[in-house]
Every structure is written in C-alpha cells, then in structure tokens.
Amino acid sequence: MVDRLKGKVAIVTGAGSSGPGVGNGKAAAILFAREGASVLCVDIVEERALETVAIIEDEGNVASALAADVTRRSECQRMAAAALERYGRIDVLQNNVGIPSRQALPDITEEEWDHHMTVNVRSMVLAAQAVAPHMAAAGGGSIVNLSSIAAVRAYPPTSTAYTTSKSAVLGLTVALAGQLGKDRIRVNAVAPGQVYTPLVAPRLSPEGRQERATSGLIKEEGTAWDIAWASVFLASDESRWITGQTLFVDAGISAAIPGGAPRPPA
C-alpha cells in the first residue's frame, strides 16, 4: 500500500541519528513521509534533524526540522505550536526519545536514575500532554511510544534504569489510552528487540553483533526499518480499532523460552 498517511501531520521526536546510519526515529520520519505525511522532525541536536529532513526532501516529500529538548514542558509546547503553524494540525506523535544504561543496582546513582526517567519517560508524558488537545480538536489521532524488549526481559541484566523506564512506557501507554480514547486518540507502543542501530553500534564487537542477530526465533538481524514499519501501521487508519497495546518487533524473543526449550530425553 502507498499513501497510508496521506494528508496527516506527524511529529517524530528523536528524529535524528546519534551516528552514521539510520536509527528508529529517523526511519520512522522517512517512512511516514513516504506514506504521505508531513513530518516535523524534532531532535535536541538540530543538525541531526536536518539530516533526516534532507533525505525526506530529496525523495520529494514534506518535512521540516525543529531543535527541542522534549524533557521540558515549554519545549514540548513550542514543538506542538510549530507543527500547527507549519502544517495546521497534528495527527500523529511518535515518542522516540530514549537513552540506554547498563548500570547495575549497586552502581546506579540517584542522578543517573533521575536522568533516565526524565529522558525515557517524562519526555513522552510532556509531548503527549502538548499534542493531545490539538488531536482531540481535530477529531482524533495516534500516539506511538517506543519501548523495548527490555520492558519485559532482563536484558541486559544490569540495565536497572533502562529496563525500569521502558516498563514505565508500557504503563504510560495503557494509562493514556484509557484517558484519551474518548477523544478518538489511540495510544500504542512498539517494543523493539535487539535491533542494530547507530545507538548500539559503538558498543558491539562483530561477534556480539552476530550473537544479537541470531538471538531470536527469526535468525536475521533487525533494523530500524522493521521498527518504523510497525509505527506506520499504528499511525495509520489501518489500526483504527487498536489502542493500549504493545507491538513487539523482536524476531520472537518475547515469545521464546530463554536458552531454548528443554529437549526430551533420547
């Protein structure tokens, strides 16, 4: 199908990539635009957002960039105002901002804990708070929150703050779905598995990358495009009767028994 988002206006936070390649937010912004949406690409680093916009515009589609810190209410309000000023409405919000952590319980500091909750959870609350009234006034919309397989699996085992924050995203998704459904605003989450993106690339050896790529039931490496296609579905009218749900895009990791099922005796 084409033009699945034709006529819609989408905001994507974290729309740049932290390094060479395509991350989840960048891929979502590009696919939203390919499917007909006008996209506001938001990133705390303007150059990253501009790179995404350049790709979209080179393909003949519509986008613009905005530098904003979405952990601050005033910045989220400015983001919503920019979308309205440039495009006249807001139909889709993709909450993509997030940072990783590998600190175990004995090592995590109060400052690191608070920072992860601020970036990974509060940003989504404030962004949704800023756009929801405008979606409601326009007759509805779709909010897509990026969580992680770490929300339901201890991976990596030491990621205390990251796992907790990504679990909180699932709870937030359900809470917002319950509150905003009356306004025809759907709220869902996408939970990526061990996807290869610029955010994780610097931490992986070739062996580690191969191990991740074959850790699911489907023995192929996932990319940001896999996550973005799930977001396109949840942003589109194809999912008009779906809200409060989490779509795991993880090659089946969430459905598998860790270490594999025990084999019967010979």
**Which of 260, 244, 243 shows the shortest CA–CA distance to 252?**
260
Whole-Å CA distances, 252 to 16, 151, 172, 230: 27, 15, 24, 15
Instruction: Decide: helix, strand or coil at residue 12.
Output: strand
Per-position pLDDT tens, the chain of length 266: 589 999 999 999 999 998 889 999 999 999 999 999 999 999 999 999 999 999 999 999 999 999 999 999 999 999 999 999 999 999 999 999 999 888 899 999 999 999 999 999 999 999 999 999 999 999 999 999 999 999 998 876 778 999 999 999 999 999 999 999 999 999 999 999 988 888 887 778 888 888 888 888 999 999 999 999 999 999 999 999 999 999 999 999 999 876 655 556 65
Q: What is the pTM of this model?
A: 0.94
Q: Token digits for 139?
A: 């007759």
User: DSSP per residue over 176-232, as a string?
Assistant: HHHHHGGGTEEEEEEEE-SEE-TTTGGG--HHHHHHHHTSSSS-S-EEHHHHHHHHH
Whole-number pLDDT of residue 237: 98
Catalytic residue among 87, 155, 162, 196: 162
- Order of all β-strands in the sheet with 246-249: 63-67, 38-43, 9-13, 92-95, 141-146, 185-192, 246-249
The torsion angle over the Cα atoms of residues 120, 124, 127 and 128, rounded to 10 degrees, is: 180
DSSP category for residue 2: -
The torsion angle over the Cα atoms of residues 198, 102, 247 and 3, rounded to 10 degrees, is: -20
Active site residue 162: yes
Complete domains list, the chain, with CATH: 9-248 (3.40.50.720)
Residue at 119: amino acid letter? V
d(C-alpha 242, C-alpha 232), whole Å: 13
Over the stretch 92-106, which tens digit does the pLDDT of each residue have? 999 999 998 888 999
Instruction: Decide: helix, strand or coil at residue 107.
Output: coil
Whole-number pLDDT of residue 239: 98
Buried b (16+ CB within 10 A) or exposed e, 129-138: ebbbebbeeb
Whole-number pLDDT of residue 18: 85
Whole-number pLDDT of residue 101: 85
Whole-number pLDDT of residue 157: 73
